[in-house]
Each structure stands twice: as structure tokens, then as C-alpha cells.
Structure 1
Amino acid sequence: MSLSAGSRIGIAGAAVVGVAFGMARYAYGVTLPDIRQELHLSEPVLGLIASATFSGYLAALLLVGPLTARRGSRAPTTVGGVCGALGAIIVAMAHAPWILAAGAVLAGSAGGWVWAPYSDIVTKIVARQQQPRALAMITTGTGGGLVVLGGLSALAVLGSWRLIWVGVALAAVIAAVVNLRLVPRTIPHARSDGQRGALWVARALPVPACYSVVYFGVIVVYFTYAADVLGSGSVPAAAVPALYAAVGISGLVAVATGAMAKRAGSMRLAGLCLVAVGVALALLGLAGDSLGATAVSACIFGVGYMTGSAVLAVWTAELVPARAGAAFTGCLIVGAVSSAVAPALAGAALPSVGLGPLLVLTAAVSLFSGVALVLRGRR
């Protein structure tokens, strides 16, 4: 029995996005404690490298439009797989801060290459009634990537943190091959919508753009410092990979984002996701030394994180179906700026504020913004 176009693209997209977002983008946070210890790097330097990875992601988002215009929407997804594999290999071999930064930036750029093009691929190839399900399936691939990342982290406890990055490289190659096999070529656009989409979405879609600023900023703070919170407490070493696996497994509920958005409304669902992320951050900041509180935090965060990213794709496609790729890219660019700034600010504030209060302050921003969206969505 042959798979439908929506299923084929959903599977391929879930694999590629799962590696780029669930693994390559957040492997730095998982390995951060070991990197600090082995390479003897300060908090400001580690924060700057984390921000630089999202700068690479932003650069890729800006280049997606021109490449799509020349080669079609599938081409950026292939480039993303190559960047993820090469970047992960460079990090695995790094023995100097600048080499580490170069590899982390290249690996971090993978997400910028692969995510937005799938909105165009889905809207062009998949039947309209199946599009929300396909978009949710693609985004939910991040959950599977986080589960694999958690498994690699467990293996690395017995060896070296570098094994995690070797695993990311292998997964990127496999996902790229699957993508080439299942996703057909698309006809190139007559023009690039990447940069125009970013400027246009800021004017035409202010609410999704503001959501992206808050959502991506608080998400990156959680992923960057979750391993640090666990490492500084009394929880066992296996808690770190278990946390990432819990985030990925609980986040699989996001496959039903299309149905949830139809029932509650995309804006209200996005607000509820920010509330969930805020609760998870507060638990991590206030009770990070408790294994039970950490487990609850990871599960709540997984639901808010995965559903929050999926609803953004569904939301923008609902608002402007004729320019879904441009609208989604614009929101991702706005979010990428926030993702790049947040770790640098957190790293600079960490020595004077402390990790627990920093997470609680971030939680307050997420909670306040989420409640505001829910109230606006009711109107």
C-alpha cells in the first residue's frame, strides 16, 4: 500500500526537522557542562557561542528565499542536512573555542535551512484538508529528535560528550537521504520571498511575530541551561538524558495541533503553549534539585514547546495560505533574532543574578505573554 503525498512529505519532513531542531540545534545545551569543564570556557563565552548558533540559524533563514527561487523548495532541506552533518563533525573534533564555535554555528544553521521550506512544499503538493496534519507531523519530528538526543546523552555518560555530536552527524546524513527519496522536486519561484516576507510579516502579522519573539527566546533559555540546573543539584547524572527524552515523548501530542487549533483557535492555543513553557521554567528554577519537579517540568515543557512550534506553522498557513512560506519564514526570522539575543543576555546576567532567579524571570515573561494571547484570542 503506497503512502499518500501528505504522509511521505510528513515522514521526510519529520526526519529532517527532527535532526535539525531536536538534535543539532540543542545538542550544545546538552553538552554544555562537559564543554565548560574540558575546554575551560567562561559563562560569557559559552553564552556568546550559544547566541552565535542562532545567528547561523538566522543567516540560513535569510538565504532560504534566494536558494528556493533558483533551485526549488527541496534544495534548502538538502543544504540543511549537509550543514547539520558537517557542523556536528567539526564540534566532535574541536579542541579550541573558535573551532567549537564554527561547528556549532554551522550545525545550528541547519534548522534555518529546513523548516520554512516545508510550508511551501506542503501547500503546493498536499491536499488542502491534509495540510494541517502534515505540518503538525513535520514539526513533531522535533520530539523524536529529542528522544534520540536523550539516548545519545545516556551513551555519552559512559564515554565522551563528543559521541553525542557524532550521533547527530550520522542522523543528519540518514535524514537527508530519506528526504531526497520521499520529497519530489518543486518548481522554483520566480522571485525570492525570504527577506520580503520578514518585512511583510512584521506589518501584516504583528501578533504571530510578537509570539515568535517571546516563544523562541524563552525556549532557548530552557534548553541552554536545563542541563546546568540538573548538574548543579543532587539529581543523578542520568537525569539529563532522561529530561530530553521526556521533553521529546511528551511533545509528541503536538501531532494533534491541527485539530486543537481548529477547536480552540490558533491564537489561544499559542497563548496556552507560552503558559505551559512558563510553568516549566518556573519549576526548573524553583525546584531544579528535585527529581520529581524536574520530570514534571520536562513533560509540561515538551507539550508547550512542541505544540507551540507546530501551531505557528498552522497559524501562519491559516492567515495567508497563498504565501504560507513567506509568512512562516518572516516569523522564524523574528524568532531567530530573539533566539540569538536571549542566550547572550542570559550569559551576561548569570554571574550576578544566579541561574534560579534567571529562569524564574524568564518564566514570568512567558506566563504574562501567554495570558495576554489567551485573552486576546477570546475576543
Structure 2
Amino acid sequence: MPVRMSVSSRNNRARAVALSLALGSALAFGGSGVAAKPLIEAGLDPLHVVWLRVTGAALVMLPLAVRHRSLLRRRPALLAGFGLLGVAGVQAFYFASISRIPVGVALLVEYLAPALVLGWVRFVQRRPVTRAAALGVVLAVGGLACVVEVWSGLGFDALGLLLALAAACCQVGYFVLSDQGTDSADDAPDPLGVIAYGLLVGAVVLTVVARPWGMDWSVLAGSAGMNGTDVPAWLLLVWIVLIATVLAYATGVVSVRRLSPQVAGVVACLEAVIATVLAWVLLGEHLSAPQIAGGAVVLLGAFIAQSSAPAKPGDGRPVTGGSPERELSARGTAT
């Protein structure tokens, strides 16, 4: 009995750490818009901000790419997929969509990703999912509709909606690819190496899309206004690169591996809530009552999804917190 209690306690602590990483990732990603908006208002094109973000992060992670260069031989498809989908695809399709449809609508469509992840797990991987995970997704998506006030801009643009849906599919790729290799500990690719090469691939792709040679570089030497306060533009860029990209991707990928794509996907919905709250505090963009209520519903959905108990190996119960193989490995390590 003491051994079982010890194993359970360690598993609970590990899950708490994983959830903390997922929340940290949502917080880091959520702060990107607050730092990017002043740069855009100062004169930078949105795609140029994205290019600076990804390319700067790729340069920071370059030493890790060199250190894990064996991944180029072992997992070339994984690196290419993560870079194309999880980095370049999400960014490019999202910014393309908001050029045609309201930002709130684009965000809501993009954050259909957790529901699509559940569909991937259920129908492609043929693994069952719990009712709690499904309910959490439904609540999270409904809450997001209130957070982004989707009713304020319901203009139908078929191409814009398709681009936003493409961003959602790329986000599914981010969660699924982040989880690759975790069932085989001996051959599991290092997450930091995957992120480093993903950012490098994303930087190359976005260079073609954003065409940074036409960027107004002088903006970075000046300042940008943040709710009446002048902030050095370079400082905002440093925040976007180090916190909203490097730290966000690192904590995000590790949390997916320790939780599961479907649970991490629901927790990631908090990014939109965090972005809205930060915009309220730092940019003076006030929240309405429906937005506050929607944020509470998103929190409830994330809590329900993550609180369902993971399946025991071989008991046939739905999987939500990790694969049976990962649970067995964790128990073996703990004992």
C-alpha cells in the first residue's frame, strides 16, 4: 500500500508539473499579440513581425539544432512536418485569414483544433476518448465564442473561413507531432531539438511568404506606444522572440508529451483568454461581461478535460492523460 500511494503521489506531481507547463505555454503564447500589436501600429507589417519572431527564435535555438543534428537523419519527416505545420502553417494561415474575416471569428475557428484533435485520436488513431474530454472541448469552444465576441463580426467569407480552418488543422499537426515518439522512450526525439529544427524550417518558409527585404527596419530603432507608454521596439521584439516563441514552444511541446495532445489542446484554449486579459491590462482594451463569462467557461472546460483520470494499462478505458504505455513506464520508473 505505501508503494502504491508513493507511485500515485509521484504521478500526481508529474501531472501537476505538466499542467503547469501547459499553462505557462498558454501564457507565453497569449502575450505575443500584446507585444506584437504596438510594433504593427508603429509601422511593421504583421507578416514581417511573424518573420522576425520565428527567425529570431530560430537563431536563438541554432546551437541546439547543431547539438541534435542526428535528428536530421533519424526524424527528417517529423522535423519538416513540425516546421511546416506547427510553426509556419499556423502563423501564415492565421494572418491570411484575418485579412479577410474578423479576428474574433478567425480565433474561434483556429481554436476548433482541440475538437479536431479528439477526432484524430478517435477516428485515425482509433483510441477512445472520455466524455469528460469531449465535454471540456465543447465548453472551451463555447466559451471562446464569448471571449472573442464572435457575434460582433459574422461576415461570411468562404476563403477567409477556409484559411482559418487551415490554421486549425496546422495547430492539430502541432499537437500531434509534439507527441510523436513518446511511446518509445529509447527512440524519443529530444523536444528541444525538434523545436529548433521546426523553427529553422518555419523561418525558411516564412522568408518566402513574408519577403522581409521590403521591411522598414528603422521601426525597430524607435519606440512603440503601449496604452500611452512608449516602449523600445527592440524590447518588444526580444519579448516576442524569447518568451512568446522560444519559451512558449519549449513548454508547449514538453507539456503535450507529458499530458496528451487532446488534454494539452484544451488547456491551450486558455491562450485566447490570456491574450484578451493581457490586452485589457496592458493595452487598455476593456472586457465586456460576455467576455468575462466566456473566460470562466473556458477555464471550466479546461479543468474538466484535464481532471479525468488516465487509463490503466490494459483496462480498456478511454485514454485522456497519456497512452497506456506511458502510464506503465511512469509506474515502473516510480517503483
Q: State the TM bucket, normalised to the shorter chain.
A: 0.3 to 0.5
Please, what TM-score do these two structures have when normalized by structure 1?
Answer: 0.37
